Amino acid sequence: MGHTITEKILAAHSGEAEVHPGQFVMARVDLMLGNDVTAPLAIEEFRNIGAGRLADAARVVLVADHATPNKDIEAAEQCRMMRDFSREQGVEHFFDVGRGGIEHALLPEEGLVAPGECIIGADSHTCTYGALGAFATGVGSTDLAATMATGECWLRVPESIRVAYRGGPKPWVGGKDLILYTIGKIGVAGARYQALEFCGEAIEALGMSGRLTMCNMAIEAGAKNGIIAPDATTEEYIRSVTGRSYTPQLSDPDAAYAHTVEIDCADIELQVAAPPLPENARPVQQMNDTAIDQVVIGSCTNGRIEDLREAAQVLKGRRVHPDVRLIVVPATRRVHLQAIKEGLAEVFVEAGGALSTPTCGPCLGMHMGVLAKGERAVATTNRNFVGRMGHPESEVYLAGPAVAAASALLGHIGSPEELR
C-alpha cells in the first residue's frame, strides 16, 4: 500500500521508512513561526524551560503583523519583546512594521517555504503553505517554545481526505469560491485532524495565489493541514522567489485515503458564507438583499496582488456606495508597492476606499476596521465567527475579491454581473 504526500513528508522528517495515520512522531521542523500575539507567550515559555539558545535561529521566523502598527501600549510591548529576543538570539528572519507584512502571505513570497518541508507556526492559518507542497500546521505557543529549543515537534500523523475538482470554474470563480463551496459541502468539522489533499483539473489550472487561498482555509474545515502536490506551477513560483534546493514529495497512486470528495466545478457559483460559520456557504444570488456597512479586501487569505487586481478591475471608474466603508489591506510590503506601481492604489482611493498598510488588524477585530453593534461586513478574510471583527452583534460575510468589491459599490451583497 502506498502513502500520501503528507505521510511521506512526516516520514522523511522523523527518520522513519514509513508512517501511518494515528502514529505519533517527533519530526524535525524546517521552519517555525510566531507572530506578535503568539510569539511573546512562546518566548516566555522558552525561558521558563531553561532554554538558553535557539536550536537553530535560521529556522525561526518572527513576524509583527496582528496588532501592528502598534494599536496600544500592550501591542507595543509585545512587539518589543519579539524585537529584543530576535537581537539576543540572532534571528535573521524577524519582520517588523514596514519590512514584511502578513505572515502567511509573507513567508512564501520571501522564499522561506519549499515543497517537501515540515513547517509549524503558532497561528492556525500556517496550513497556507501546503499550497507549495509542504506539510504545514498550526500549534500552540508552548509547542512553538519547545520546538524553538529542540528543533523538533511531536505530531500525530493524520488521515488524508482527497478532494478532486473536475472541470473548469465559471467566470470570476476562484480559489476562495472553491474552498468556501467545499467547506459548505463537508462542514467545519468535516476534516477534523485530517489532511485535505486538493487535486483535479481545476487545481492544476489554478494559479499559486488561488492555491494559497484554498490551503489557508483548510483549517476552517477542521483540517490538520491542507496540501497540493507540487507541479510545474509550483516549480515556477519557487524559482521566482528562491534558488535553494528542495525535495518534493508526491502521493503514491495506491495511497490510502479516508475518503474522496468529488466536486464538479460547473456546480460552483460565486460563493458567500453567512455568519456565524464558514460552512454557511451559498451562491451570491441567494444573498443579494443583504445590506452592508463595510467591506474589507485583504488578509492572509486574499491580500495578494492577484486579489487586489481582481478587486480593482471591478472598482475602476466607479464609486463606493455612500453607506459603505471600503478598507483595502495589501498583504505585504511588496504587494503594497506593486499595487502603487500598477495604479491599483489610485483606483482604490479614487473609488472612495481607504488603503491600509499591511496588517491582520481588521480580520480579527483588533483594529483598523472594528465593527459596531448591528453592522454587517463583507470580507475576503477566513472567519466569520460571532464577534470575529468587532461587536458580538455584528456580522461578517465571507467572499472573494470580486464579490467584495461589487458589494462595496452596490451597498448590498452582490456580484460583478450586477454592475453591467
The domain boundary, picked from 224, 241, 263, lies at: 263
Residues 292 and 162 placed together within one structural domain of the fold: no
- Could you tell me if 197 and 283 lie in one domain? no
Which of 349, 357, 313 is CA-nearest to residue 331? 357
- Do 239 and 286 fall into the same domain? no
d(CA 67, CA 78): 9
Predicted confidence band of residue 420 (pLDDT cuts 50, 70, 90) = confident
Q: Which residues of 142-162 are buried (b: 16+ CB within 10 A; e: fewer)?
A: bbbbbbbbbbbbebebbbbbb
> Measured between alpha carbons, how far is residue 370 from residues 119, 134, 273, 386 in Å?
31, 34, 19, 13
Kindly report, residue by residue over 131-161, the tens digit of the pLDDT: 999 999 999 999 999 999 999 999 999 999 9
- Grid coordinates representing 373? 453593534
Is residue 293 located within the same domain as residue 412? yes
pLDDT tens for each residue of 237-286: 999 999 999 999 999 999 999 999 999 999 999 999 999 999 999 999 99
Express as a percent the part of the chain with pLDDT over 70.
100
pLDDT band for position 62 (cuts 50, 70, 90)? very high
Q: Which three cell numbers stand for residue 383?
A: 472567519
- 279 and 247 within one domain: no
Q: Average pLDDT, stretch 397-405?
A: 98
Instruction: Please indicate, yes or no, whether residues 138 and 72 belong to a single structural domain of this protein.
Output: yes
228 and 81 together in one domain:
yes
Q: 219 and 285 share a domain? A: no
Report which secondary-structure segment, H or E, holds 7: helix 5-14
Q: Structural domain tally of the chain?
A: 2
Q: What is the pLDDT of residues 28-47, one digit of tens each?
A: 999 999 999 999 999 999 99
Local confidence band at 294 (pLDDT 50, 70, 90 cut-offs): very high
171 and 320 housed in the same domain:
no
pTM for the structure as a whole: 0.97
Average pLDDT, stretch 213-234?
98
- For the chain, the average pLDDT equals 97
Query: What are residue 229's phi and psi, to 5 degrees?
Result: -60, 135
Residue 363, classed as helix, strand or coil, is coil
Q: What is the pLDDT of residue 407?
A: 98
Which residue has 515537534 as its cell numbers? 153
Give every CB contact of residue 277 below 8 A, 6+ residues apart in sequence: 188, 384, 385
Based on the domain organization, do 241 and 376 belong to the same domain?
Answer: no
pLDDT at 18: 97
Task: Check if the beta carbon of residue 141 is closer than 8 Å to that of residue 124.
Answer: no
- The dihedrals phi and psi of 370, each to the nearest 5 degrees, come to -70, 140
Pairs from 45-53 (Cβ < 8 Å, separation ≥ 24):
45/141, 45/142, 45/145, 45/146, 46/145, 46/148, 46/149, 48/145, 49/145, 49/146, 49/149, 51/145, 51/148, 51/149, 53/89
Where is 164: in which H helix or E strand? strand 159-166
* Grid cell listed for 208: 499559486
CATH assignment of the domain containing 171:
3.30.499.10
The yes-or-no verdict on residue 1 having pLDDT over 90 is no
pLDDT of residue 325: 98
pLDDT band, residue 376 (cuts 50/70/90): very high
> Tens digits of per-residue pLDDT, 189-206?
999 999 999 999 999 999
Instruction: Summarize the confidence of residues 350-376 as an average pLDDT.
Output: 97
**Same domain for 78 and 186?**
yes
Q: Indicate the residue among 209, 233, 263 that finishes a domain.
A: 263
Mean pLDDT across the stretch 297-316? 98
> ∠ CA(384), CA(390), CA(396), 5° rounding?
30
Residue 2 DSSP label? B
Give the domain range for residue 356.
271-419
Whole-number pLDDT of residue 286: 96
pLDDT at 289: 86
Residue where one domain finishes, among candidates 200, 234, 263: 263
Helices marked H in 15-68: 39-48
Task: Determine contact, residues 216/382, Cβ cutoff 8 Å.
Answer: yes
Q: Check whether residue 219 and residue 251 sit in a common domain.
A: yes
